[in-house]
Structure 1
Amino acid sequence: MNLFTERAIMIMKQIPAGKVMSYGQIAALAGSPRGARQVVRILHSMSRKYDIPWHRVINAKGEIGFKDEQQLTEQKSRLEKEHIMVDENNRIDLKKYRYMPEELFS
């Protein structure tokens, strides 16, 4: 496993309940500011194996990224169980819910 993947997994596992991070935010903290799509791939292929709280990762606009109704409903439900308000457009208020970890790899 490469260093970026290890870092991205570590960052995602640290997102606390009731908070979210964006794919791009995770990528930048893991060392690749343009690596948001790679974060998506990591989530898709490694969430179960590494017990990553995938539902706490959203896009840069604060939106749930899934278009599939079942997946969208699952993520929305998980977020709401953590008391994260998801609006009628499936958006989350990033000012309120974004997790901002201190520098992890300085």
Structure 2
Amino acid sequence: MDDYYERVYEVVKQIPAGCVTTYGAIAQYLGIKSGARMVGYALNKVAETEIPAHRVVNRNGELTGKAYFPGDTMRERLQQEQVTFIDDFQVDIEAHLWNPNEELN
């Protein structure tokens, strides 16, 4: 499992500032069907590290990982990167989506 987590972290480190991707897109890139939850588990451990986990949202653009960041840190970090929101905790995913399947292949 540690190897899987490391593979997740390597993908997340490549998400550019101002962009987001989804748990499912990372799982699909890594070849793990229905692995979105596993991506979430991996990222729950790194909210306060150099890995930009704040750039990973659910398929609807919702900040489902915000519970692992203190206060409103996840949203604040995304706003600092000029990510726009359509709701308090939902990014405009169409405007900011970075797809590892397209960008890393």
Q: TM-score, normalised by structure 1?
A: 0.81
Is 1:98 aligned with 2:97?
A: yes
The structure-2 alpha-carbon separation of the partners of 1:85 and 1:103, relative to structure 1 and needing over 3 Å to count, comes to closer
Where does residue 12 of structure 1 map in the other structure? 12
The structure-2 alpha-carbon separation of the partners of 1:78 and 1:67, relative to structure 1 and needing over 3 Å to count, comes to closer
Report the aligned-residue RMSD: 2.3
The structure-2 alpha-carbon separation of the partners of 1:88 and 1:94, relative to structure 1 and needing over 3 Å to count, comes to closer
Any stretches of 5+ residues in structure 2 without a counterpart?
none
Where does residue 33 of structure 1 map in the other structure? 33
Of all paired residues, the percent bearing the same amino acid is 35
Taking the aligned partners of 1:30 and 1:79, their CA distance within structure 2 comes to 24
The structure-2 alpha-carbon separation of the partners of 1:97 and 1:103, relative to structure 1 and needing over 3 Å to count, comes to closer
8 A contact 2:57–2:65 mirrored in 1: no
Taking the aligned partners of 2:28 and 2:71, their CA distance within structure 1 comes to 25
How many correspondences in the alignment? 102
Taking the aligned partners of 1:28 and 1:77, their CA distance within structure 2 comes to 28
Please show how residues 1-106 of structure 1 align to structure 2 within 5 Å: 1-2=2-3, 4-48=4-48, 51-66=50-65, 68=67, 71=70, 73-101=72-100, 102=102, 104=104
